């Protein structure tokens, strides 16, 4: 199996090295990742300038760094390495659950794969106070990748690992609340700045990705790319039938 690895934390992230060490036991690994951090860049692509790809070494792995976004890396990587069976993105330093999926560059790399007809898997974990313990997560990462690569064939899956997992759960995206918030601060000269930050959600619906993570389960959410609101479409068509007779 040919695996393309990407991320949004940048090519030198320990999460990418941790993912590579597990993925290398499952297939041939190619690494194409941003040369600097691209977190929260979402699914941006670089269209107003050409991008470069340069060889580098990550541990024992041949790797390439790109001066572009996570989606750029997958677009370029799948073109340069034909026959990629799946794209693995991560392991992100920070969770990507609920509505934060909209901002996630980690997930965008996996989405770019899905757009190209290649399976995409995004993997993320909270950093906690001291950073993730990738050795502790390693058997869980291996278990999830075996399940998603060899025992199932979902086109796009968003996976989040709690710090100390106790089991796996298939989940849905928590969409009831948005956890984004703006936090004002001042610099030493009294000038105003703002953090675009997040707040802790208190009421979590059982079966969601947020809920799984809060309860110590690895969360696996199968996703689709079709954003169409089917119910709204039905209502719209029913409310204006004359539009369709023109």
- Bridge partners of 196? 182
Give least dist CB 26 to Mn ion, A.
23
| Residue list 129-188, contact with Mn ion (CB under 5 A) | none
- Residue closer to Mn ion, measured from CB, 52 or 127: 127
How far is the CA of 179 from the CAs of 174, 216, 239, in angstroms? 11, 20, 34
Give least dist CB 188 to Mn ion, A.
29
Query: Could you say whether residue 92 binds Mn ion (CB under 5 A)?
Result: yes
- Residue closer to Mn ion, measured from CB, 36 or 60: 36
Query: Could you say whether residue 125 binds Mn ion (CB under 5 A)?
Result: no
Q: Tell me the window of 28-36, 86-94, 157-165, 220-228 that interacts with Mn ion (CB under 5 A).
A: 86-94
Distance separating alpha carbons of residues 234 and 12, to the nearest angstrom: 47
Q: Which residue's Cβ lies closest to Mn ion?
A: 39
Tell me which of 16, 29, 31, 39 binds Mn ion, using CB under 5 A. Answer: 39
- Bridge partners of 191? none
Query: Could you say whether residue 9 binds Mn ion (CB under 5 A)?
Result: yes
Taking phi over 0 as left and psi of -120 to 50 as alpha, with beta for the rest, 63 belongs to beta
Query: Could you say whether residue 13 binds Mn ion (CB under 5 A)?
Result: no
Query: What tokens were used for 199?
Result: 């707040």
Query: Could you say whether residue 96 binds Mn ion (CB under 5 A)?
Result: no
Query: Could you say whether residue 11 binds Mn ion (CB under 5 A)?
Result: no
φ/ψ (deg, to 5) at 63? -145, 165
Question: In which element (H, E) is residue 238 found?
Answer: helix 230-239
Query: Could you say whether residue 8 binds Mn ion (CB under 5 A)?
Result: yes
| 213: nearest Cα among 106, 127, 92, 125 | 125
Binding residues for Mn ion, rule: CB under 5 A, are: 8-9, 39, 92
């Amino acid at each position: 199996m040919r695996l393309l690895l990407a991320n949004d934390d940048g090519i030198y992230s320990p999460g990418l090295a941790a993912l590579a060490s597990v993925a290398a036991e499952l297939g041939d690994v190619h690494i194409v990742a941003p040369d600097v951090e691209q977190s929260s860049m979402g699914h941006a692509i670089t269209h107003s300038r050409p991008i470069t790809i340069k060889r580098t070494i990550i541990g024992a792995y041949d790797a390439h760094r790109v001066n572009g976004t996570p989606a750029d890396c997958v677009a370029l990587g799948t073109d340069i390495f034909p026959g990629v069976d799946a794209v693995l993105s991560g392991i992100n330093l920070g969770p990507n659950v609920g509505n934060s999926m909209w901002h996630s560059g980690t997930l965008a790399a996996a989405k770019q794969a899905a757009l190209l007809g290649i399976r995409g898997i995004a993997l993320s974990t909270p950093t906690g106070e001291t950073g993730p313990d990738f050795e502790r997560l390693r058997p869980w990462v291996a278990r999830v990748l075996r399940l998603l690569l060899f025992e199932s064939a979902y086109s796009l899956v968003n996976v989040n690992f709690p710090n100390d997992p106790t089991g796996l759960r298939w989940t849905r995206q928590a969409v009831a609340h948005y956890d984004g918030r703006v936090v004002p601060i001042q610099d030493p000269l009294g000038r105003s700045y703002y953090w675009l930050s997040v707040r802790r959600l208190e009421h979590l619906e059982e079966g969601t990705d947020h809920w799984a993570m809060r309860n110590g389960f690895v969360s696996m959410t199968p996703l689709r790319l079709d954003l169409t609101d089917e119910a709204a479409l039905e209502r719209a068509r029913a409310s204006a039938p004359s539009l369709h007779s023109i």
